[in-house]
């Protein structure tokens, strides 16, 4: 005759053990594809900005025909200086904000990293601060300087860290 098993005993006997998986780090390939996605997004926004500036440039040329300046800097030179100043500051600032704000956000990832299920964490797997995201961003410039060798560390380190990850004490992990 079958014996009755209480609900709690049944649950305890059939519950699978909790297994904590080892962290999975972002591979070189997945990080490179994420970089390509992010670059595509930034180039799209840069194109929109350049297109809008080209339209502004045409308006500025019309304005130059109306205004006459005697002596000093010519309007053409002034326009060239303004555009150089704008482009030399605007694009790096947009690039910097894109990476630092998104990597320190609650999603912990840029659009490219998020698409591939990656996130940026500190060494304990926690969300990074805006300050640490800045350190990571500017240290990335160091990774790029000697022929991108700082990025190749991803291929040989246990936790798949690039040089800028070591400097900023960060990891790129798969979002589990």
Residue 160: CA atoms inside 13 Å, Cβ hemisphere, count?
17
Identify whether 73 is part of a domain: yes
For residue 44, the enclosing domain spans 24-174
Say how far apart CA 47 and CA 49 lie, in whole Å.
5
Residue of higher predicted confidence among 154 and 60: 154
Identify whether 157 is part of a domain: yes
Q: Convert the pLDDT of each residue in 128-169 to its tens digit.
A: 999 999 999 999 999 998 889 999 999 999 999 999 999 999
Positive or negative CA dihedral for 142, 146, 152, 158? negative
Identify whether 121 is part of a domain: yes
Q: What percentage of the chain has pLDDT greater than the value 70?
A: 67
| HEC-encoded secondary structure of 32-98 | HHHHHHHHHHHHHHHHHHHHHHHHHHHHHHHHHHHCCCCCCCCHHHHHHHHHHHHHHHHHHHHHHHH
The mean pLDDT of 76-86, rounded to a whole number, is: 68
Domain count, the chain: 1
Identify whether 15 is part of a domain: no
- Residue 69: what pLDDT? 47
Identify whether 11 is part of a domain: no
Identify whether 18 is part of a domain: no
Identify whether 6 is part of a domain: no
pLDDT grade for 68, boundaries at 50, 70 and 90: very low
Identify whether 17 is part of a domain: no
Q: Convert the pLDDT of each residue in 105-130 to its tens digit.
A: 999 999 999 999 999 999 999 999 99
pLDDT at 50 over 80: no
């Amino acid at each position: 005759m079958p014996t009755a098993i209480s609900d709690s005993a049944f649950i305890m006997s059939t519950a699978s053990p909790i297994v904590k998986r080892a962290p999975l780090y972002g591979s070189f390939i997945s990080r490179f594809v994420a970089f390509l996605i992010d670059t595509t997004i930034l180039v799209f926004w840069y194109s929109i900005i350049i297109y809008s500036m080209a339209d502004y440039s045409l308006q500025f040329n019309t304005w130059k025909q109306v205004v006459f300046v005697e002596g000093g800097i010519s309007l053409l030179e002034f326009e060239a200086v303004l555009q150089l100043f704008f482009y030399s500051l605007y694009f790096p600032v947009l690039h910097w904000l894109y990476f630092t704000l998104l990597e320190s956000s609650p999603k912990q990832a840029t659009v490219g990293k998020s698409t591939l299920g990656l996130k940026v964490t500190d060494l304990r797997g926690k969300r990074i601060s805006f300050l640490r995201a800045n350190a990571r961003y500017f240290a990335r410039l160091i990774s790029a300087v000697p022929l991108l060798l700082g990025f190749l560390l991803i291929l040989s380190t246990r936790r798949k860290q690039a040089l800028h990850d070591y400097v900023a004490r960060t990891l790129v992990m798969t979002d589990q």
